[in-house]
Amino acid sequence: MKKVLFLAVAFSASFAMAQDLPSNPEPGKCYVRCTTPDVYVNETTTITTNPSYKILKTIPATFKTITERVLVREEEKVLTVVPAKWGTETVTYVSKGGGNSLKVIPASFSPSTQTIEIKPAYAQWELGVAAPDCESGNPDDCRYWCYKGYPAQFETVSTQVLASDASTTSSPLGSQNGSYTKAVLLSPATVVEKIIPAEYKEITKTVLDKDAYTVEEIIPAKTTTITKEVLKEKGGLTTWKEVECALVEYQALPINWNSGSATLTSEAKSIIDNRLLPILAQNPGVKVELASHTDSQGSSVSNQDLSERRAKAVADYLITKGVNSSLLVANGYGETRLLNRCSDGVSCTAREHAVNRRTQFRLINN
């Protein structure tokens, strides 16, 4: 096994010498610098996707029929000498009372959106490749550190806002009149009087019992909960840790990807659980690079995109298993690091192309 001293190299070789290197290192041992990772917590925020509003229902007016005793002929006197003279009179009454008819105009809504920050911006130290003009025999002496920033992530949620609330319009209902005729005395009899008793009649009429009215129903607002990551505690550089020297070089993660796919199968997840997660658990705080490669078949652009998505798929799965995202570096190399002669334009067997399709990992300095 190749034995190297794997030390963190920042911006230049001379600056690296000034850093706190491992105390009392043993020859042939390998060391990486560990960090206290950034600690994030998930917070939930609730937004209103549909506001509360009311629905109005109309209850029509109700009527009732009543019976009323009315005078249709007054008491009279009959004179034996001069008879009384009578006339008639028409009396008008309300046979059906008036009311109102109500019509509901429903509430209307307008589309809207609300943008929520689901992941804040952050920055982290990343180790660059060796400078091309490095004069040292050890390329690790000429690597440099970059403090790389990543923008915040946002999510836009569609909502609705109340444009106009429900209301009603009122239309009057006309009343109905009826009439009856009664006899009236024009001139009384004289000389001899005879009393004629009054006459009554029962009439039926419809009157308003309860006018139309509205019943209000409140429709509650609808909400949705968004989960976002919030930085709770900022991490930083801590100590050096001894690791197996083999782990600072690329190790195979034998995932059999489906053609053109960056989706982890259950078998691929099992490989990560058994091969990579135990190493990360044994080396807490150590950063790991996840590297994915393709063969030269297809366009270089599509191969680069596919390798980046596959590396990110592995990183995303590790995050779901509790690995801090600040300790993961996902790199897709496409067809730029072929292991054999099978570049564009070269005829190769399927087995030769398969050699170049690989996913690897290694421990790197923070």
Q: Report whether pLDDT(16) > 80.
A: no
Predicted confidence at residue 9, as pLDDT, reads 31
One CATH from 1.10.8.620, 3.50.50.60, 3.30.1330.60, 3.30.70.890 for 244-364: 3.30.1330.60
Residues 88-96 have a mean pLDDT of 83
Contact 250, 362 (CB under 8 A): yes
Tell whether the torsion through CA atoms of 257, 258, 262 and 264 is positive or negative.
Answer: negative
Question: Averaged over 52-63, what is the pLDDT?
Answer: 88
pLDDT at 154 over 80: yes
- 59 phi and psi, to 5 degrees? -105, 115
Please provide the average confidence, as pLDDT, over all residues in the chain: 80
pLDDT, position 5: 34
pLDDT band per the 50, 70, 90 thresholds, residue 1: very low
pLDDT band at 35 (very low <50, low <70, confident <90, very high): low
224 pLDDT higher than 50:
yes
Which residues lie closer than 8 Å to 184 by C-beta, 6 or more apart? Answer: 74, 86, 87, 88, 89
| Whether 235 contacts 37, CB under 8 Å | yes
CB 363 within 8 Å of CB 283: yes
Rounded to two decimals, the pTM is: 0.41
User: Among residues of the chain, what percentage have pLDDT more than 70?
Assistant: 79
Q: What is the mean pLDDT of residues 65-91?
A: 87
> Which pLDDT score is estimated for 352?
92
Across 106-152, where does the E strand assignment appear? 108-119, 122-127, 145-150
Least confident among 199-203, 229-233, 263-267: 229-233
Residue with tokens 């596959």: 310
**Length of the chain as a residue count:** 366
- Please report, for the chain, the start and end positions of each structural domain, with discontinuous segments joined by +: 244-364
According to the model, what pLDDT value does residue 226 have?
A: 79
Q: Where are the alpha helices (DSSP H) in the chain?
A: 13-18, 266-275, 277-282, 300-320, 350-356
Using alpha carbons, select from 52, 51, 48, 102 the residue that is nearest to residue 218: 52
Stretch 323-332: mean pLDDT, rounded? Answer: 91
**CB of 340 closer than 8 Å to CB of 295:** no
Q: Which is more confidently placed, 174 or 342? A: 342
Measured distance CA(168)–CA(102) in Å, rounded:
6
Q: What is the mean pLDDT of residues 198-204?
A: 88
If pLDDT is split at 50, 70 and 90, which confidence band does 267 have?
Answer: very high
Using pLDDT thresholds of 50, 70 and 90, give the confidence band for residue 54: confident
- Per DSSP, the residues of 85-113 read EEEEEEEEEEEE--EEEEEEE--EEEEEE
| Alpha carbons 81 and 325: distance in angstroms, whole number | 125
State the Rg of the chain over Cα.
47
Residue 282 has pLDDT above 60, yes or no: yes
Tokens standing for residue 241: 């840790």
